[in-house]
Structure 1
Amino acid sequence: MSNRPAINVRSMDLHTIKVACSNCNLRELCMPVGLSGEEMERLDDVVATRRKVKRGEALFHAGEKFESLYAIRTGFFKTCVTTEDGRDQVTGFQMAGEIIGLDGIVNDLHSCDAVALEDAEVCVMPYDRIEDLSREINGLQRHVHRIMSREIVRDQGVMLLLGSMRAEERLAAFLLNLVQRLHARGFSQSELILRMTREEIGSYLGLKLETVSRTFSRFAEDGIVEVKQRYVRILDTDALTRLVNAVQPACH
């Protein structure tokens, strides 16, 4: 169990408001498609609230009781675990339209921290109600299974990334994956603002901070990317793809 102080649920409730999935512009990203009007109304009743999370604050901590899944409406999160020697190991980055909290299903306890990298807002989905409703709505059940399967594929991709790729290949795969996910949300195919630090990128990719910075500089010198602090513009997508040797691990 974590010895961190428990989250003050009462104070969080001051930042919750009624939300309707049927009117959300991220609906197709985080909710099943093809539901009837009646089914959407029932889902609206389950996804009853939004919660605001300030930059640097945790949505949940490792060791806390698992109660809900969270659909990210705005903002960026990182998930991380604390190693035995006290270091924070980043295990993933999540953005708007994605679901977090699945780590808590297996033991009814969260196994990682989820920390906002910028001011964020999430939709709270009590898991027991989602479970009950998914038994009655096949589309929802399939969607939950698809999300779980995606997590498995994501983990496999990270293992491939860390086990067989050089630093240049790891960073190239990371940038390609990130810009593809952002493009699916209507953003540019070639420009992005990194919400995470280079140190956090290194923690996720299994690289030292100096290696991440050096690799960014090498990409810039080779005309592959343009980098200005956290702004990154991809100038040569084909070059990044060649670096990954045509392997696109799902490193979310």
Structure 2
Amino acid sequence: MSVNNLPTKDRQHCCNCNLNSLCMAVSLDTREMSKLDEIIARGKPLSKGHQLTVQGDPFKCVFAIKTGSVKTVTTSCNGDAQITGFYFPGDLIGLNAIDSGICQDTVSALETTTVCQIQFEQLDDLSAQMPKLRRQILKTMSKDLCNEQHMLQLLANKNADQRIATFLLRLSNRFKARGFSESRFRLSMSRNEIGNYLGITVETVSRVLTRLQKNGYIKVENKEIDLINFKALLQLSQESE
């Protein structure tokens, strides 16, 4: 999707966006937010399945999720597709392409999604003038590295039940940080996508969710999830509080 196809003006600006405490605008003053606004392109909602970037394409833009959610997928030379992440409002994606100048994954909308799109060259120039903005970008990159390390630990050391419990608790924390319910939320990704991400089969995902519901840990209704027993899920996941 070309930034040229997106309008550069929008009623919503960084200074009055309810996600600015999670996004790049955090800690910026009004003047700095206005400068950031000038390089942001905002467009119409994207439909489910729309690709923001394609693996192997030249790197030009980064995206901040405004509403909805997306997934990142890396495809091997053998054609095997691996989901590497799920991203929600306030998340910044695309920074992993800075070094190579090539998009490292394909980013697709999981549902109707809106994004803020920023040309990286403009963002880089602006961050050189704003230390607080550059620091926030570095913090985002650091968080992504930590998430990758946690994911490697999860895949290496946890069984299927622990992986699902950990996945649900981390989603809960992310929704809570965005002002949404931490105990009741909708999964925008399919069970097949969850299985791909966690390294287990879709059948195993379904069996584990059924078992967790039977044990009274969660309640599942289609894609709606209620976390009922946080303490039990935490013990199962072996996550620290």
Given the alignment, which residue of 116, 119, 140 partners 1:123? 116
Residue 52 (structure 1) shift: 3.3
Residue 17 (structure 1) shift: 4.7
Aligned to 2:227: 234
Q: What is the CA RMSD across the aligned residues, in angstroms?
A: 1.6
In the alignment, the residues of structure 2 paired with residue 159 and residue 53 of structure 1 have an alpha-carbon distance, to the nearest angstrom, of 31
In the alignment, the residues of structure 2 paired with residue 200 and residue 96 of structure 1 have an alpha-carbon distance, to the nearest angstrom, of 19
The question of whether the paired residues in 2 share the 8 Å contact of 1:66 and 1:108 is answered with: yes
Aligned to 1:3: none
> Is there any run of 5+ residues in structure 2 with no aligned partner, and where?
none
Aligned length: 239
Given the alignment, which residue of 133, 141, 149 partners 1:148? 141
1:16 correspondence with 2:27: no
1:28 correspondence with 2:28: no
1:136 correspondence with 2:129: yes
In the alignment, the residues of structure 2 paired with residue 34 and residue 91 of structure 1 have an alpha-carbon distance, to the nearest angstrom, of 29
> Is there any run of 5+ residues in structure 1 with no aligned partner, and where?
1-6
Aligned to 2:63: 70
Residue 227 (structure 1) shift: 0.6
Equivalent position SS for 2:21: helix
In the alignment, the residues of structure 2 paired with residue 179 and residue 219 of structure 1 have an alpha-carbon distance, to the nearest angstrom, of 16
Aligned-pair identity in percent equals 36
Residue 51 (structure 1) shift: 5.3
Residue 247 (structure 1) shift: 4.2
Equivalent position SS for 1:70: strand
The question of whether the paired residues in 1 share the 8 Å contact of 2:46 and 2:114 is answered with: yes
Describe the superposition over 1:7-33 as per-residue Cα deviations: whole angstroms up to 9, x where unpaired.
Answer: 5x38x71x5351421221211111243
The question of whether the paired residues in 2 share the 8 Å contact of 1:58 and 1:116 is answered with: yes
Given the alignment, which residue of 187, 194, 201 partners 1:201? 194
The TM-score with structure 2 as length reference comes to: 0.94
The TM-score with structure 1 as length reference comes to: 0.90
Aligned to 2:209: 216
Equivalent position SS for 1:195: coil
* Between 83-92 and 165-174, the greater mean CA deviation after superposition: 83-92
The question of whether the paired residues in 2 share the 8 Å contact of 1:51 and 1:124 is answered with: no
